[in-house]
Amino acid sequence: MPQVVLVNPLIPPNTGNIARTCAATGTELHLVGPLGFEISDRYLKRAGLDYWPYVKLHYHESLEAFKSAHQARGGRLLGFSVRGSCNYLDFHFQPNDWLLFGSETTGLPLDLTSACDVTLYIPMNEPNVRSLNLSVSVAVGLFEARRQLGL
């Protein structure tokens, strides 16, 4: 099953909403620090409602710690970015993919983007809109992967 990775998320309600989506789908959620909030943040908890016991949460203190965890488990790193090279709808997802999303303000760090097997983008019609909300982007990418995999 694909896994969701948030690298340096900043806004607690976004991460809470993503955690709720992961809980509902049984998807593992990896948070890569530093975070822009504390895991105990009340806005994070409120957005995730009472679903936190169902979240398969992994916290990695640094990008290096995450890379070690990924290397131990294997699978492709798929970076989602407005500067991605492949439309996510044209991509063929695999069960062991890791879906990577960067912070709300800066996106994925360039060194991580270059380490990705592929960078994907979600097409938008309006050129004056810089990006979608992080929780929306995660849901769009995750549910397309799940659809393709018959989940």
Annotated binding site: 102, 122, 131
Rounded Cα–Cα distance for residues 108 and 82 (Å)? 10
| Strands of the chain, DSSP E | 3-7, 28-32, 56-60, 77-80, 86-87, 98-101, 118-121
Strands of the 98-101 sheet, one edge to the other: 56-60, 28-32, 3-7, 98-101, 77-80, 118-121, 86-87
119 SS3 class: strand
For 100, the token pair is 């990577």
Pairing of strands 77-80, 28-32: unpaired
Q: Which residues are annotated as a binding site for S-adenosyl-L-methionine?
A: 102, 122, 131
